Amino acid sequence: MVGTRYIISDASKQLEVEPHVLRYWEEELELDIPRNELGHRYFREEDLNILKNVKKLKEQGLQLKAIKMLLTNIPEEDKPYTEVENELSPKPLQKITNSIQKSAPVENNSKIREFQEFIKGVLQETLKENNLELKEELTKEVSEEIKYMLKEKEQMEERRYKKLDETLRVMQKMRQEIATSSNKKRFMFKKQKVKE
């Protein structure tokens, strides 16, 4: 039985994302989106369910790398079903999400714990990557700030030395003028003595 098929524009409207986002997610997450005879993508309900969950995870702050790891670690029995297989079976991410949201029976507790441990590992790995990127960015910003502050300090010192230099020149000029005027007075004083 062939289910409903959606072209990319209809799928993007349903998911409230741009078509290019769907193409990007398909490529980055290595999703198996089927194509028609003309090579155009078409989305089935199970594809839309997977993409809805991808969107939710993105909105919660997960990166595509982490989401891809989630998708690749889904057990084989929970992988997306083809049109030939039973379409009434639960969809993969929807099944996992539902099992987390419900209070699971005792037999599912181990699967939930495994999934939680897996998510924890993915989040830790993602945080490490983000921390490294943040560290590099902060280091770059701090070094730029230090360079700016050192340059500003050099400019202030240069202005200070220029003022000091100007002050010294003015004082030297004043001393020369005083010395010159003193010499003139002495010379005139000697001339007057000689005349007398």
What's the mean per-residue pLDDT of the chain?
Answer: 78
49-53, 92-96, 134-138, 149-153: segment of lowest average pLDDT: 92-96
Does a structural domain hold residue 176? no
CA distance 65 to 125: 10
* pLDDT for residue 150 is more than 60: yes
CA distance 169 to 32: 82
- Residue that wins the pLDDT comparison between 72 and 116: 116
Task: Give mean pLDDT, residues 111-132.
Answer: 82
Q: What is the pLDDT of residues 36-82, one digit of tens each?
A: 899 899 999 988 999 998 998 888 888 888 888 887 765 544 444 43
Does a structural domain hold residue 14? yes
Residue 191 is predicted with a pLDDT of 66
Neighbouring residues of 68: CB distance < 8 A, sequence distance ≥ 6: 28, 29, 30
Q: 52 and 17 in contact (C-beta within 8 Å)?
A: no
Q: pLDDT band for position 143 (50/70/90)?
A: confident
Q: What is the pLDDT of residues 15-24, one digit of tens each?
A: 999 999 999 9
Does a structural domain hold residue 59? yes
CA distance 177 to 196: 29
Does a structural domain hold residue 17? yes
Does a structural domain hold residue 140? no
64-73, 116-125, 179-188: segment of lowest average pLDDT: 179-188
Does a structural domain hold residue 62? yes
Residue 62 belongs to domain spanning: 1-102
Q: What distances in angstroms separate CA 26 from CA 30, 75, 127, one per listed residue?
A: 6, 20, 24
Does a structural domain hold residue 116? no
CATH number where 76 lies: 1.10.1660.10
Q: pLDDT band for position 132 (50/70/90)?
A: confident
In the chain, the number of structural domains is: 1
Does a structural domain hold residue 94? yes
